[in-house]
Structure 1
Amino acid sequence: MTASAFRALHHDRPAGDPLVLPGPWDAASARAFVDAGFPALAVPSAGVAASLGYEDGATPADEMFAAIARITRAVAVPVSADIEDGYGLAPGELVARLLDAGAVGCNLEDSSGGVLQDARRHADRLAEVRAAAGGRLFVNARVDTFLHGAGDPAEAVARARLYVAAGADCIYPIAAPATALAAVRAGVEGPVNALATPDGPAVAECGRLGATRVTFGPALQRRATAAAREIAGRLRG
């Protein structure tokens, strides 16, 4: 599948009908989501990290790209991948590794090591990634002000506008509460990604607030692990 096919899924959507992208952590979970009828997938780095025995943010780049490749080989739908802050790779190398792994999109976050980065410098990096990728990658620019900043919606909107101007296809204000998500939606042109969590907006509410697409981070992998623990407990009696 191509980035253009993935990009098309984000546009001309009815109001309140976001694109729902489950987050597989391995080939088996990817196939399960596709078999359920989902048209595309969004690989969460934290879910992959847990499946490989790493803490979130500690997966070596080689292992992350290998995991993405195993997922893309297993399914015939577009796959986007969370690649954290890009692992320190130069834009050209980062794009090449994503394409080699079969991804058609990526998340790039504007924090590193839990610290927000300079927004203009990050916008420049996004522009370099877009230039290296051409139209071959859908770039989802993660805005981390609600994770590692003061949680100011105005700052999130300002960052988001810089990233859209730099060529980002979508803005992802991760962990934004409902009121802040609505503010970002009102202040930004183009697609907006919302995170659905047990403690935040659910999928339907994300749609009502104007989200173009909804992802789940590592929540689905954690639910699967919890189910495995429950089974293990029953087996132990």
Structure 2
Amino acid sequence: MTTQQDKADQFAALHARERAFIIPNPWDAGTARLLAHVGFEAIATTGAGLAFSLGRPDGASTRDEMLAYVGSIAAATDLPVSADLEDGFGDDPDAVAEFILAAAETGIVGGSIEDRSYGRGDRPAGERYEKEFAAERIRVAAEAARALPFRFTLTARCENFLIGKPDLADTIGRLRAYQEAGADCLYAPGLTTKEQIREVVAAVDRPVNVVMGLVGEPIPLKELEELGVRRVSVGSALSRAALGSFVAAATEMRDHGTFGFAADAIPHAELGKIFAR
């Protein structure tokens, strides 16, 4: 049986090697098992994908729902799991640290903390934390992670490009502050060009995660690797692709009374074989 320590060591090793890896984002246990079946080396949760599965907008999940979700993904396969922990379910650094510890108990071996509020504390949803305060949140989260009996890979996220503040210099300054605060991996979702990615990678000395399938040009893994990227996630893209196919199928039935969508469906028997293993 693969232990949490084994998974943590495997996950840390992926970040230490020269070759980049893709860490796709399932939104439930079934899709986690499918990604393991396809052959990925690690997986990550998606807060947006969870919210969509509950019929809510991104960021509308509760603390208990999030913990149950990340636990279900961690239990679904033997792969290392990194969790999208959003804002840490609180503004206060101590609340973030407590959530890191609670999430670690679910079986995950890594997680990300953002530098914007989701409105779960005193700050309004979408508000960016001041750089020093955001770095303090990462510092305390890193201390909590280091207190765990296994190596927890902490990712610090700068949300500038997702909240309408595409300031690359400020983004790099924030990522450097989070690096100094103890983050193991750095992530600025929303970068749109190779030049931006290259600048971020060159400016920090931690592994950098980028997201594909969100905005900007779809840069192949090999080219991202050449830019120095270590880890590539897809956020809610797989969830949105599946939901897009679902809506298209439903629209076909409603508008045309036809069922051509089923030709692209994975066979029932094939899913049965995969999930029986």
| Bin for the TM-score computed over the shorter chain | over 0.9
1:132 is displaced (CA, Å) by 1.3
Is contact 2:190–2:214 with CA below 8 Å preserved after alignment?
Answer: no
Counterpart position of 2:68: 66
Decide which structure has the larger Cα Rg and report it: 2
Counterpart of 1:124 (choices 136, 139, 159) is 136
Deviates more, 1:96-105 or 1:168-177: 96-105
**TM-score normalised by structure 2 residue count:** 0.80
How far apart, in 2, do the equivalents of 1:43 and 1:193 lie?
Answer: 14
Higher RCO by CA contacts (8 Å cutoff, separation 6 or greater):
1
Counterpart of 2:115 (choices 92, 110, 121) is 110
Deviates more, 1:217-226 or 1:141-150: 141-150
SS of the residue corresponding to residue 228 of structure 2 reads: coil
Task: Check if 1:203 corresponds to 2:220.
Answer: yes
Is contact 1:105–1:139 with CA below 8 Å preserved after alignment?
Answer: yes
The answer to which structure has the higher strand fraction is: 1
Counterpart position of 2:58: 56
Task: Check if 1:95 corresponds to 2:100.
Answer: yes
Aligned residue runs from structure 1 range 176-215, under 5 A: 176-178=191-193, 179-197=195-213, 199-200=215-216, 201-204=218-221, 205-215=223-233
Counterpart position of 1:154: 169
Q: Per-residue displacement from partner, 1:82-110 (whole Å, max 9, x unpaired)?
A: 01101117244212211121111111111
Quote the RMSD (CA, aligned, Å): 1.7
How far apart, in 2, do the equivalents of 1:92 and 1:215 lie?
Answer: 24
Counterpart position of 1:142: 157
Is contact 1:141–1:172 with CA below 8 Å preserved after alignment?
Answer: yes
Counterpart of 1:9 (choices 14, 20, 23) is 14
Is contact 1:83–1:107 with CA below 8 Å preserved after alignment?
Answer: yes
For 1:20, the aligned partner's letter is: I
1:151 is displaced (CA, Å) by 1.2
For 1:50, the aligned partner's letter is: F
SS of the residue corresponding to residue 24 of structure 2 reads: coil
For 1:101, the aligned partner's letter is: T
Q: Per-residue displacement from partner, 1:110-162 (whole Å, max 9, x unpaired)?
A: 11122221111111111111111215321111111212253121111111111
**TM-score normalised by structure 1 residue count:** 0.92
Aligned length: 234
How far apart, in 2, do the equivalents of 1:196 and 1:100 lie?
Answer: 29
Spell out structure 1 runs of 4+ moving beyond 3 A: 230-236
1:12 is displaced (CA, Å) by 2.1
SS of the residue corresponding to residue 15 of structure 2 reads: coil
Alignment gaps of 5+ in structure 2: 118-124, 259-277
